[in-house]
Amino acid sequence: MSKQIKVALIGNPNTGKTSVFNALTGLNQKVGNYPGITVDKKQGVSKLNDDVKANIIDLPGTYSLNASSLDENVVIELLLNKNDKDFPDVAIVVTDVENLKRNLLLYTQIKDLEIPTILAINMSDRMQRKGISLDIPILEKALKTKIALISSRKNTGIDELKQLITNYENLSTEPCLDASVIDKSYFEGLQKAFPNQLLYKLWLVITQDVNFGKVDKKTIDSVSEFKTKSESDLKRLQQKETIKRYQFINETLKKGQTIDPNAATDLRSRLDRVLTHKVWGYIIFAAILLLMFQAVYDWAAYPTDLIDASFASLADWTKENLPEGAFTNLLAEGIIAGIGGIMVFIPPIAFLFLFIALLEESGYMSRVVFLMDRVMRRFGLSGKSVVPLISGNACAIPAVMAARNIESWKERLITILVTPFTTCSARLPVYVIIIALVIPKGTFAGISYQALTLMSLYIIGFLTAVFAAYILNKILKIKSKSYFVIEMPNYKLPLFKNVAITVIEKTKSFVFEAGKIILAISVVLWFLASYGAGEQFNNAEEIVAKEFPNLSETDLEDKIAAHKLEHSYIGVVGKTIEPVIKPLGYDWKIGIGLVTSFAAREVFVGTLATIYSVGSASDSEDEETIKSKMAAEVHADGKKVFTFASGISLLLFYAFAMQCMSTLAIVKRETNSWKWPMLQLVVMSGFAYLVALVAFQFLNK
């Protein structure tokens, strides 16, 4: 049986911690939440040698153990609690060779917790270009650890790091410095009151309001022989501690680090002047978005069409080669059609995640956040609100979680409430297929009409979120202050491995999470669409044959199938809600899609794929795809269902409606009340209905 080592990966933001995690674990990763809170945690397995495996947990980025947000607090609470199942045998502090001074503050604090700690100095490939040289033996002696000089980009030093992890028991647990000298008598009194506890753990409990075991701040305050300090005194002591640590770090780096000032280049500042310019910055960002949406259509078109045709062919083959009966119908019309309804969107979703990963990896996304902060402040939002709003383009759920970084409750609440307006990837399947149906092919200034429409929907969502934030800022009477601080990381060429892992993991997560819902709903929908009660359903053959006596056998079968569908269980549901949605240009089949997509927006397309498969009895020789079935759908009067007017109405409805029960659940959890998610549901859905109504009535003239 192989030995298991628990490893915590810790570091400041933008030190390449995720790259190191990917280098160690590859695709052996999983993402979940820390118990009791909604902060993402990444875990992975790294095989160190034939006998030893490392279970690695990638902790949220933090600048120090003086936490200012919930995700930073996660780091402290794990490192304090030896009973936690993830408590590390060894900690790896990842640092950036260009920002070693700042990064080492966190390292010295973790050393005070007497956890075996490895210092991983990342981005070593940039040392020569930046004129940096390090004396590793001197640094190891001063910092009382072993150092791995690595480059996650060049994949160098990773084997040495694995070797250090394997031999973690040989690492010193002695602190680098004695921080208690900032107030000797105070810390001596603290140690005397709790002789069996680690001194720095006690200090963190006092200053960070965290706990470990049975020791918390109230316990310490209740000890009569120990004189506690006021909040202001504690703040001053924290400042003294930080100064003391930086004094030690400065002295250490004077001996162990040399920097040639003439080697640095000014490329970063020149790029920043352009990319964050008050005019050119926005133009460049808009151009990048246009390129992204053009790619979603042009590059994804071929694999999308191939997948669409393949599932149509598979459904047709299933009907032809398996015995007739309920199981074959369920497989062909329910499961295959439903799953095909989501699989066709893997290419555009993968390309969307690809672009987002490239923007993040290159360092450009931080510039976008800085750029948009100028706009956000005018609407009552923090600059930090831009992160959830941009993250919302992938999924509203982690985007709402990301709002936890916003200290102001008012700004955080507003951000949570407006984030679902931004266009998440779950809307993309609906947008892609409806745009393909109702927006003509052609170009304007070299950009296709369809790409421009898709970009317009993203912009509309973002602008609506900002406008809603402005209104909420005026309505909500909550007083608060906050400050916006963001670090501008160095520009770098995106690392292929990181981008690939991000795209694969996020696309896989999207498909499997959506797939579970779609498979379950497809089976239920097939049953509801294949069976019914009453004379109209049970005697469909006789009724249709009597009404249409001169039809060919194929046309008659199609009419019978359509008649049965209309009077099936799901047909009754659709017909019941049809009067409400008819003014928007929708028929009862679209109505069923609207209802089922409340589980997840992307289910809309899978629902229609299932319904249209059940509603057609003919074995089409051209193996009709989902898109062609939707394009051919007509009302009773022969007019097409999916016209320009109804299509735009449907696009706008999905742009604004709260069609995601998972997001509602997360909002409830984050706000600790059903008041806010219910407000979201009513206001957003009502607004969506009104806008869709106006759009259809205006365009249908």
Reported confidence tier of residue 41, pLDDT bands at 50, 70, 90? low
Provide mean pLDDT across the span 66-79: 76
Domains of the chain as residue ranges with CATH: 3-170 (3.40.50.300), 179-263 (no CATH), 280-424+442-447+456-475 (no CATH)
Give the CA count within 13 Å in the CB-facing half-sphere of 174.
11
pLDDT at site 405: 66
Specify whether the CB–CB gap between 134 and 256 falls below 8 A: yes
pLDDT, tens digit, 9 for 90 and up, residues 97-107: 888 998 999 99
- With a pLDDT cut of 70, the percent of the chain lying above it is 83
Q: In this predicted model, which residue has the larger pLDDT, 276 or 1?
A: 276
Residue 484 is predicted with a pLDDT of: 56
Nearest-CA neighbor of 653 among 686, 700, 697?
686
What is the pLDDT, as a whole number, of residue 115? 92
| pLDDT attached to residue 149 | 92
Q: What tokens does 310 get?
A: 């393949």
Beta bridge partners of 583: none
Tell me which residue has tokens 């193996």. 623
- 59 has pLDDT over 60: yes
Provide the b/e sequence for 551-575 (b: ≥16 CB within 10 Å): eeeeebbbbbbbbbbbbbbbbbebe
Lowest mean pLDDT among 161-165, 505-509, 620-624: 620-624
pLDDT score of 38 more than 60:
no
- Total-model pTM: 0.62
Please name the amino acid found at residue 638: G
Q: What angle do CA 18, 23, 26 make, to 5 degrees?
A: 95
Specify the pLDDT at position 683.
Answer: 93
- Which residues, at least 6 apart from 653, have a Cβ–Cβ distance to it below 8 Å? 584, 594, 688, 689, 691, 692
The pLDDT of 693-701, averaged and rounded, is 90
Task: Please count the other Cβ atoms lying within 10 Å of the Cβ belonging to residue 357.
Answer: 21
Mean pLDDT rounded to a whole number for the chain: 80
pLDDT tens digits for range 138-153? 999 999 999 999 988 7
pLDDT-derived band at 481, boundaries 50, 70, 90: low
- pLDDT value, residue 454: 87
Most confident region among 105-114, 205-214, 588-597 by mean pLDDT: 105-114
> What's the one-letter identity of residue 47?
K
Q: Please report the pLDDT score of residue 8 as a whole number.
A: 93
Beta strands in 48-179 (DSSP E): 52-58, 90-96, 117-122, 132-134, 146-149
* Residue 138: per-residue pLDDT: 94
